[in-house]
Amino acid sequence: MLKKISLSGLSSLFFGLVIFLFFGLFYAFHLHYQEQYQLFLFTAHYFFERVMQPGGLSNYLGAFFTQFYFYPWIGSFILATLLIFFQRILLGTARNLGAAKNFFVLSFFPVLIYWGLLCDQNYLTGGLVAILFVSLSNYLYTFSRSGTVKILFILLGIPLLYLIAGGSVLFFFLFLLIYELNEKTRSWKFLLLFNLLGVLLILTIPFFLKNRLGMFPPVSSFLGVNYFRFPINFPVIVVVIGFLLVALPFVSKYLSSRQFPLKKSILIVQVIVFLLFGSWFIHRSVDFEREEIMEYDFYVRMRKWEEIIHKAEVKTPQSPLSVTCLNLALGKKGQLGDRMFEFFQKGDEGLIPDFVKDFTIPMVAGEVYYHLGLINTAQRFSFEAMEALPDYQKSVRTIKRLAETSLINGNYVLSKKYLKILQNTFYYRKWATYLDRAMTNEDLINQHPEYGVLRRMKLDRDFFFSDQEKDMMLGIIFSEKKSKLVFEYLMAYCLLNKDIQHFVQYFPLGETLPYFTIPRHFQEALVYAWDVSKSEVIKDIPYPINRKIQSSLNKYRKVYTSQSNPQSLLRKDFGDTYWYYFHFRN
């Protein structure tokens, strides 16, 4: 059987496997990210709403594929299949034009570039689907021989492809134009008619269909919508790919007709260039720091607190959003007061992020407010995040959160509205149906391990708070609900801001909480506060401080006061203490 598979076929399979493993093993959370910021519905209204746009069918199919990205291996398979299908179509087009077999490597270059583009979370799958439709149309055109058929391709193909793939239809027309100019049998009258029809249709169809398809900006009317998350920023590299898919078949044909002195080495040269260029391009395209943030965020979304802590133990997170997820996980597992300074911390930006007019940061910040019991704030952040999406999509994650916050607040009518939407999705249908039925039993909601707890934690009144007064906000919540998580966040907020005075002032609030021992970092802060106040620590401090912590402070103080540059000496033995954070971390 292997003898029947050509070298180009084996190369395609191998390249597809590499792409599949890359997204499945190394870039899975980019796929999760894509899935959560769209809302694909199995409804007729959604279908016609999407299709009746420039390039609407490609957009619809791209969203259809993206919903399965919740399962990274399925998403990886989809992307690998689409990209290799793209490569095989390009290769088939080149061979229909007369390209030799040893130039098949050229067909991989546009695919490689698009693979690199998909490493950017703002490139959507609909753009790849549009390119596939254009490539397939070019391929089918190479089978046409009759002049009448070619004219029909112009008259019917351009309008239809505009509806399917948007402005990518331009590359279809360019291919047709070059193809016909290479056909020496065509008369000048045919070429003139051919060109006039093509140019006329390319220029007039967007204007003719603009009012019928919906009101879009001029750029979107020509290029299509929802191929890139920021519609006003059209990526130039996409144009490069478009020209490559037009030019490469003809370049392959031209090179095949030339005589090279080392013809047997042509394939080896192509492979070497491809590997060198591919390694460089993919390396500059990937962003593993962002992938790490997406991984932490996904684990928070899935309530996988142990996975977050384990990941941080292997490699401490550095970005504020990742640290926010870690601190929330530590808090949920009751480890915030004991372990937070074992990991990188930088002020309170990694505890409760400030609100930003963005579609990513409010989602992470909203998770913190949600678990602290500030349900209305979490609801506002989710709504703001969805409305901030630059491509005007709806987000399945924010819709789910809005359904949850409405449920916790007892607003069942509003919650049912959001759940009804989710019942038309693939992954969230069962969850939404279950919750919709559960609303008929108030006790079932009150006993729910998450919604019931948050319903008891949430405040019964609203109040205004500033980003600069988060300690007051936390204090108000704790004074009414006595939540252990809220108390530890209040203490952590003071510690991270090096506000020892307020830490000591607020600490007695937690005396009624079920602590067997005072958390380690709280003890470190207390003993340090008494130490700098010139009191006799062991005698005067009114809290049960572990003697090892008292002894460690004495050792820490001795090194700190006797060395001119104590940081490097203290890092080894005291790098995970609050004292080290207080003195050496900004």
470 CB contacts (<8 Å, ≥6 apart)? 348, 352, 493
Are 223 and 80 part of one and the same domain?
yes
133 CB contacts (<8 Å, ≥6 apart)? 57, 58, 161, 164, 165, 168
| Amino acid 216: pLDDT | 61
Q: Quickly list DSSP for 387-441.
A: HT-TT----HHHHHHHHHHHHHTT-HHHHHHHHHHHTTSSSSHHHHHHHHHHTT-
Residue 211 lies in a domain: yes
Q: CATH number of the domain at 437, please.
A: 1.25.40
| Amino acid 537: pLDDT | 46
Work out how many domains the chain is built from and give that number.
3
Residue 488 lies in a domain: no
Are 69 and 83 part of one and the same domain?
yes
Residue 336 lies in a domain: yes
Between CA 453 and CA 403 the distance in angstroms is: 16
| Amino acid 184: pLDDT | 65
Are 138 and 241 part of one and the same domain?
yes
Out of 410, 433, 457, a domain closes at 457
Residue 503 lies in a domain: no
pLDDT tens per residue across span 237-253:
888 898 999 999 999 88
Are 270 and 410 part of one and the same domain?
no
| Amino acid 263: pLDDT | 62
Are 61 and 125 part of one and the same domain?
yes
| Amino acid 1: pLDDT | 42
Are 55 and 103 part of one and the same domain?
yes
Are 312 and 442 part of one and the same domain?
yes
Residue 366 lies in a domain: yes
- For residue 276, give its domain range: 2-286
Residue 491 lies in a domain: no
CB 142 within 8 Å of CB 175? no
Number of C-beta neighbours around residue 512 at 10 A: 9
- For the whole model, what pTM was predicted? 0.91
Are 274 and 380 part of one and the same domain?
no
Are 225 and 330 part of one and the same domain?
no
Residue 79 lies in a domain: yes
| Amino acid 102: pLDDT | 85
pLDDT tens per residue across span 516-543:
899 999 999 999 988 877 655 445 778 8
Out of 286, 303, 336, a domain closes at 286
Are 224 and 348 part of one and the same domain?
no
Out of 254, 286, 318, a domain closes at 286
| Amino acid 327: pLDDT | 97
Are 264 and 126 part of one and the same domain?
yes
Strand partners, 348: 346
Between CA 410 and CA 445 the distance in angstroms is: 10
| Amino acid 38: pLDDT | 93
Residue 40 lies in a domain: yes
pLDDT tens per residue across span 175-191:
988 888 887 666 666 66
| Amino acid 393: pLDDT | 87
Q: Which residues of the chain have pLDDT under 50?
A: 1-2, 537-538
| Amino acid 538: pLDDT | 47
Are 337 and 371 part of one and the same domain?
yes
Task: Kindly state the DSSP code that residue 346 receives in the 8-state scheme.
Answer: B
